[in-house]
Amino acid sequence: MRAAIYIRVSTKLQEEKYSLRAQTTELNRYVEQQGWRLVDEFQDIESGGKLHKKGLNALLDIVEEGKIDVVVCIDQDRLSRLDTIAWEYLKSTLRENKVKIAEPGTIVDLDDEDQEFVSDIKNLIAKREKKSFVKRMMRGKRQRMREGKGWGQAPYEYYYDKKEEQYKLKKEWAWVIPFIDRLYLEEQLGMSSIADQLNKISKTPSGIMWNEHLVHTRLTTKAYHGVQEKAFANGEVIAAENIYPKLRTKETWEKIQIERNKRGNQYKVTSRKRNDLHLLRRTYFVCGECGRKIHLAAHGTKEAPRYYLKHGRKLRLADGSVCDVSINTVRIEGNIVQAIKDIVTSKELAKQYVNLENEKEEIIQLEQNIKNNEQTIQKHTTKIEKLIDLYLDNHLTKDQLNKKQIEIKNITENLQSQLKRDKAKLETLKSDSWSYDFLSELFESINFFDSDFSPLERAMLMGNIFPEGIVYRDHIILKANIGGLNFDVKVLVDEDPFPWHYSKRSKEQK
């Protein structure tokens, strides 16, 4: 019979140590003992779980050309650890060309149902062994990270020193992250514009052009302040500190994430100066009815844009009502300006907008809110642990697990933000530093409406004083956080000057 030898190992390390040489020696001896004629030898250094491999493809080519009668391998799992569809394809190719599978001591004829069944069982066992091996490998990687050791491919700006067993900085690329941070935070450029600026200087270390995705990765990953963070299939997320040399501080990374949250999907600052930047663009708003994010959406033309605080889509609430908050900003802009001027003018006027009294009832309510939120956050933490157990017990798919984890994570993050605000406000109310004089001095510093501030400077100043806000149908709350002091400014929403917009939209929807 005409025979072809097929040899496979999973890693380069196995090839260098022993496996290829050992398999070749034993299989050549077996072919000679059987009296077969050796036509060719093929080998792969890849996972058995992949059907398309260079050596295996070349082997199947001579099978289909009718050049051999038997494929010889040290064990069937060297030939395959394939899923059902790929294994059936491989078997059918061999069967149609009357080619058998041989291991030292065993020959499988795929035309024989009993022998084919045994071969299927071997493939199934090989698949299970592969899964078990992967699980063991991932357990080892998780443990390595728990011990504060990194693994895997590093970002462009680093390399792994095998001798010292640590990641090191490519000094010639140390400029990239500070450069991106400056353009994003100080010059307010968007990711596309930053990529353009980078391309004027150099391509990436691998020789490709910079693009928005590469800039986004560098703005979001924790690697550049030393952290390697990985999410594993069991739902566990592990972060190891001090894995990479630091190119930015953790505080700068946090500022970038706050900035990204404020910009959302709609805010891109190009390299040209922005003259149409809205006053509230730098404030992150949520809905007071459903808790979802409120977008600052622009309608109309570039020359005459109209801005709305609104949801991206409608949401039906538990009571059957629909949450579709949409407020034209002309209904609040004048009131915001008036609020700032009134607060600066006198304490009596300031009381319309800000609670200046350390009321006992408010302190009691805040303490209760803090307690309730802490309990709810703990419940959600327990829910995530239970979800992982359900996933490990095969009651949830990976997609279901991820979806539910994201839902709980979003709820928890909102609760944690509210908890942080409540604690800061409680501390403010209990402190002696809260006074109208402080408030007046602060608001005088942002009374910029009659001065020569650019739209970008106004938006950034408002965003610094009021990083967050809550939108209701008849008023908005601007949440200030200054020097550790937290307070709310309530601004009313005027009657809609363009009610016909809504009636027209309602008719169109009907």
Same-domain check for residues 108 and 223: no
Say how far apart CA 300 and CA 313 lie, in whole Å: 19
Q: What is the CATH number for 46?
A: 3.40.50.1390
Whether residues 207 and 98 share a domain: the answer is no
**Do both 329 and 352 map to the same domain?**
yes
69: in domain = yes
pLDDT in tens, 380-430: 888 877 877 777 777 778 778 777 878 788 788 878 877 887 787 677 666
Number of domains in the chain: 3
What secondary structure, in 3-state letters, does 242-265 show? CCCCCCCCHHHHHHHHHHHHHHCC
Percent of the chain scoring above 90 in pLDDT: 16
- In a shared domain, residues 140 and 162: no
Q: Left (φ > 0), alpha (ψ -120 to 50) or beta: where does 339 sit?
A: alpha
Using CB atoms within 10 Å of the CB of residue 239, give its burial: 0 to 12 exposed, 13 to 18 middle, 19+ buried: exposed
Considering the domain architecture, whether residues 439 and 291 belong to the same structural domain is answered as: yes
The 8 Å CB, 24+ separation contacts for 320-329 are: 323/287, 323/289, 323/290, 323/292, 325/287, 325/289, 325/294, 325/471, 325/472, 325/473, 327/471, 327/473, 327/476, 327/493, 328/496, 328/497, 328/498, 328/501, 329/278, 329/279, 329/280, 329/296
What is the reported pLDDT for 435? 65
Q: Are 330 and 497 spatial neighbours (Cβ–Cβ below 8 Å)? A: yes
Query: Residue 254's domain is classified under what CATH number?
Result: 3.90.1750.20
Q: Given a cut of 90, is residue 178 above it in pLDDT?
A: yes
Q: 128 with 170, same domain?
A: no
Q: Are residues 358 and 443 in the same domain?
A: yes
Indicate whether this model's pTM tops 0.75. no
**Model confidence at 114, in pLDDT bands (50, 70, 90)?**
low
pLDDT tens string 244-273 = 999 999 999 999 988 887 776 444 433 334
More confident residue, 130 or 207: 207
Q: Which domain does 120 fall in, by range? A: 2-144
Question: Does some domain include residue 369?
Answer: yes
Q: Would 275 be classed as within a structural domain?
A: no
Residue 296 lies in a domain: yes
Q: Are residues 193 and 312 in the same domain?
A: no
- Residue written as tokens 């970002």? 155
Identify whether the C-beta of residue 181 lies closer than 8 Å to the C-beta of residue 252. Answer: yes
- Annotation marks residue 193 as catalytic: no
Among residues 231, 263, 295, the one where a domain terminates is: 263
**47-73 pLDDT, tens per residue?**
645 556 788 888 888 988 889 999 888
- Mean pLDDT, residues 70-80: 76
Per the domain annotation, does 272 fall within a domain? no
- Of 497 and 34, the structure prediction assigns the larger pLDDT to 34
Domain co-membership, 230 together with 362: no
Q: Is residue 149, in this structure, part of any structural domain at all?
A: no
pLDDT category of residue 360 using cuts at 50, 70 and 90: low
Per mean pLDDT, which range of 134-148, 177-191, 340-354 is the poorest? Answer: 134-148
Question: What is the percentage of the chain residues whose pLDDT exceeds 70?
Answer: 75
- For tokens 């703990």, the residue is 378
More confident residue, 53 or 276: 53
- Domain annotation covers residue 152: no
Spot the catalytic one: 10, 80, 119, 326.
10
The reported pLDDT for the residue numbered 356 is: 65
Q: Is residue 498 part of a domain?
A: no
pLDDT(503) > 50 = no
Q: 123 and 60, same structural domain?
A: yes
Q: Can you give the pLDDT at residue 445? A: 60
Examine the domain organization and report whether 108 and 167 are in the same domain: no
> Is 289 in the same domain as 244?
no
